[in-house]
Amino acid sequence: MADPELVDVVVVGLGVGGEEVAGRLAEAGLSVVGVERDLVGGECPYWGCVPSKMMIRAANAIAEARRVDGLAGTAEVRPDWAPVAKRIREEATDTWDDTVAVQRFTGKGGRFVRGTARLDGPGRVRVGERVFQARHGIVLGTGTRPSVPPVDGLADTPYWTNRQAIEVEELPESLLVLGGGAIGLELAQVFARFGVRVTVVEALDRVLAVEEPEASEVAAAALRADGVEIHTGVRAERVSHDGRGFTLHAAGGARFTAERLLVVTGRRAHLDELGLDTVGVDAGRRYLAVDDRLHVTEGIWAVGDVTGEGAFTHVAMYQAGIVVADLLDHARRAAGGPDPSGTASATGGASGTTGVRGSTGAVPRADYRALPRVTFTDPEVGAVGLTESQARERGVNVQVGLARLPSSARGWIHKAGNEGFVKLVADADQGVLIGATSVGPAGGEVLSGLAVAVHAAVPLARLRQMIYAYPTFHRTIEDALRNMS
């Protein structure tokens, strides 16, 4: 076996989070090895956010064109999947080739290694026969993979995950979507708008179950208006495939059939593959437990979906900023530089004398109180912080305000496609918002003001005194404040 190669940092998994950490540490002057077994950039650019939002953009253009009738004359729409598939292939993913992404990383000074990495004792990472010894730390950004439920027969069928749904060149005639969460609803609506007969089957009693019940209702109604069949409270018991199509047998005897089956029932981190036992970390958990600086254990940090703090690209990027600051802090201290956190005595040496570049500001702590999330259905479902029921479960003295978009000036003007609402959840004792939901044609954008209010704990009294531009969708926030009780 070869001797370990000594480097400053090893980053395992170059998805959104890992690539950001590895690139920024390399730019700061550290020697960084980044290991990726699949494509640099991870799920988001190749099979997630970016291509799915391109699909949604196209599907929404179809829906808008269909709204011309009654508003602006008539429009004939003939959906065609070919330009969508081409755009995903050529503009989003380079036909699922990461050459540019690898160059982006090596151009910052990082060293790229293609392969599957495992921890191999404290400070060590093994990739095949190669072993790297990390002087300052190891960062695990290994993400998640689709979690497929243990339904009888399912594993033996050619079901789709998000990957096949994103890569599809020719649409099926019909599609069964198992799972009514954000990804399931986004893809169901896209395919329905392109003429696919879509059926969504969800085990819980409502779709988008993690969000406010009012949001579930609006989203379900919108999908049904697009022709999607939605069945909630249905537990899949058995799946079969006869060479031409799928049959899903549900508890109670119901049967659903379709040419294709898309399984989007959540995602899972595969901790058992990471060699965590060699560093004394429990691999039996669902996610890697981290503290507010994303530490897993001595010398190991984690970033992104694998931490279970929110499976979003913006969470991975946010965490990456903290990991970078903390690792640079460690590196500087190890080199005898100043202590930017102020928690240890400075031993002399100005920034720059250590060879490590970058900010010497205090290392921020992760705070997920104002975590925003958007489901990009039409209407969009934006949410931040706690839902009403989450707040009540925590014993908060809750105040709620809700205002519907169609009754607002802008909603009334907008007419076709104006479904939505703003719902506010406040801590009445503190007089601040602790959660909010904004559903509507620009629900994700209206969310930004609400996220600022939750993040900065802006007093309700100040929000009520603000001037809201007329006639915007976000003016509904003022209506919801007025309706609070």
Ligand X SMILES: Cc1cc2nc3c(=O)[nH]c(=O)nc-3n(C[C@H](O)[C@H](O)[C@H](O)COP(=O)(O)OP(=O)(O)OC[C@H]3O[C@@H](n4cnc5c(N)ncnc54)[C@H](O)[C@@H]3O)c2cc1C
114 binds ligand X (CB under 6 A): no
How is residue 3 annotated by DSSP?
P
384 binds ligand X (CB under 6 A): no
162 binds ligand X (CB under 6 A): yes
443 binds ligand X (CB under 6 A): no
311 binds ligand X (CB under 6 A): yes
CA distances from 39 to 14, 348, 456 (A): 8, 42, 37
- The full 3-state SS of 40-85, as one line of letters, equals CCCHHHHHCHHHHHHHHHHHHHHHHHHCCECCCECCCCCCCCHHHH
Phi, psi for 477 (deg, rounded to 5): -60, -45
Of the pair 45, 340, the CB lying nearest ligand X is at 45
Provide the minimum distance between the beta carbon of 165 and ligand X in the complex, in angstroms, as a whole number: 8
Provide the minimum distance between the beta carbon of 10 and ligand X in the complex, in angstroms, as a whole number: 10
In this structure, are strands 130-140 and 5-12 parallel, antiparallel, or unpaired?
A: parallel
Which token pair is 260?
A: 């294709």
Using CB under 6 A, pick the residue from 212, 305, 329, 388 that binds ligand X. Answer: 305
Using CB under 6 A, pick the residue from 10, 18, 239, 337 that binds ligand X. Answer: 18
354 binds ligand X (CB under 6 A): no
Show contacts with ligand X in window 248-287 (CB under 6 A). Answer: 273
183 binds ligand X (CB under 6 A): yes
Using CB under 6 A, pick the residue from 10, 11, 12, 88 that binds ligand X. Answer: 12
- Quote the distance between the C-alpha of residue 97 and its chain's center: 22
Contacts (Cβ under 8 Å, ≥6 apart) of 405: 411, 414, 418, 419, 420, 421, 422, 439, 440, 473, 476
Helix (H, G, I), strand (E, B) or coil at 182: helix
Provide the minimum distance between the beta carbon of 56 and ligand X in the complex, in angstroms, as a whole number: 9
DSSP, residue by residue, 426-468: EETTTTEEEEEEEEETTHHHHHHHHHHHHHTT-BHHHHHHS--
17 binds ligand X (CB under 6 A): yes
How is residue 160 annotated by DSSP?
B
Provide the minimum distance between the beta carbon of 37 and ligand X in the complex, in angstroms, as a whole number: 4
CA distances from 456 to 319, 345, 370 (A): 19, 32, 9
Residue from 468, 481, 54, 447 nearest 215 by CA: 447
Helix (H, G, I), strand (E, B) or coil at 34: strand
Helix (H, G, I), strand (E, B) or coil at 278: helix
Binding part of the chain for ligand X, among 190-198, 221-229, 305-313, 462-470 by CB under 6 A, reads 305-313
Specify which residues 333 forms β-bridges with. none
359 binds ligand X (CB under 6 A): no
Provide the minimum distance between the beta carbon of 161 and ligand X in the complex, in angstroms, as a whole number: 8
164 binds ligand X (CB under 6 A): no
Show contacts with ligand X in window 24-53 (CB under 6 A). Answer: 35-38, 42-44, 48-49, 52-53
Of the pair 264, 426, the CB lying nearest ligand X is at 264
Using CB under 6 A, pick the residue from 34, 141, 337, 340 that binds ligand X. Answer: 141
**C-alpha–C-alpha distance, residues 310 and 463, integer Å:** 28
In this structure, are strands 432-440 and 380-385 parallel, antiparallel, or unpaired?
A: antiparallel
Tell me the number of residues near ligand X by CB under 6 A.
35
Using CB under 6 A, pick the residue from 238, 268, 314, 392 that binds ligand X. Answer: 314
Provide the minimum distance between the beta carbon of 34 and ligand X in the complex, in angstroms, as a whole number: 9
Q: Which helix (H) or strand (E) holds 333?
A: helix 313-334
Provide the minimum distance between the beta carbon of 47 and ligand X in the complex, in angstroms, as a whole number: 6
316 binds ligand X (CB under 6 A): yes
Of the pair 222, 424, the CB lying nearest ligand X is at 222
Of the pair 14, 239, the CB lying nearest ligand X is at 14
Give me the residue whose beta carbon is nearest to ligand X. Answer: 15
Binding part of the chain for ligand X, among 1-9, 60-68, 301-309, 340-348 by CB under 6 A, reads 301-309
Handedness of CA 198, 204, 205, 206 (dihedral sign): negative
116 binds ligand X (CB under 6 A): yes
Binding site for ligand X (CB under 6 A): 12-13, 15-18, 35-38, 42-44, 48-49, 52-53, 116-117, 141-144, 162, 183, 273, 304-306, 311-314, 316, 376
